[in-house]
Amino acid sequence: MFYFLIDILGTIAFAISGVLVAMDKKLDLFGIFIISFVTAVGGGTLRDMLIGNTPVLWMREPIYITVIAGAVVFSVIFARHLKHLRRTLFLFDTIGIGLFTMLGIEKGLTVDLLPVMCIALGTITACFGGVIRDMLCNEIPVIFRTKEVYATACILGGTSYFILILLPIDGAYAYIAAILIIIVTRLLAVKFNIALPNIYKKIDA
């Protein structure tokens, strides 16, 4: 129940972020809905297609399409006021990538993938909805450009999980700890302005 709630909150945050990007591009209502939908479920869809877990999740669980449709209606109506929710949305989004990463890792384990592949699958689940959103909006994906600690947090949390389950602790604690590591890593990175190393300075020097 608790996980489920977080999953839904993460989906809503992703859906709203999709609406904002789509409205920046002045898309029509159908375009806004698709971009929102893709942002929210695109990562999980790609994950399911990569491992052959079909029909993909959102086709089997109508809760996602319902929640996203609601989020789109809400966001389009209150678009002007969403700026004031920036911090709330950022928090939901951060919680979302934490949970989505671990959901992806779980799916990877059920099809017997190696840890490194599970971590890749978790990162794809968390981050590739935004990548597909940006491709559809004719932009180079934002997580490839900004040196932001985003996918890096997912990789770090996922790696921690596979280290923690080697310890004599309950798997559920390792699971929750990994989610927290992702969330805290991202919050700290934003707070202290930590970024990926700039490789271009070195080269241009």
Whether 14 contacts 38, CB under 8 Å: no
The residue type at 106: E
User: How far from the centroid of its chain's Cα atoms is residue 175's Cα?
Assistant: 17
Q: Judged by CB, which is closer to a copy of itself: 169, or 195?
A: 195
At its nearest, how many Å lie between a copy of itself and the CB of residue 77? 9
- Near a copy of itself by CB under 8 A: residue from 8, 67, 76, 85: 76
Question: Which of the ranges 5-13, 74-82, 98-106, 176-184 carries the binding residues for a copy of itself, by CB under 8 A?
Answer: 74-82
At its nearest, how many Å lie between a copy of itself and the CB of residue 184? 19
Whether 12 contacts 51, CB under 8 Å: no
Q: Dihedral angle at the C-alpha atoms of 3, 95, 60, 56, nearest 10 degrees?
A: -130
Residues facing residue 148 across a β-bridge: 195
The residue type at 11: T
Three-state DSSP class for residue 195: strand
Give the binding site for a copy of itself (CB under 8 A).
Answer: 22-23, 25-32, 34-35, 45, 49-52, 54-56, 59-60, 62, 65, 76, 79-80, 108, 111, 113-114, 116-117, 120-121, 131, 135-141, 143-148, 150-152, 196-197, 199-200, 203
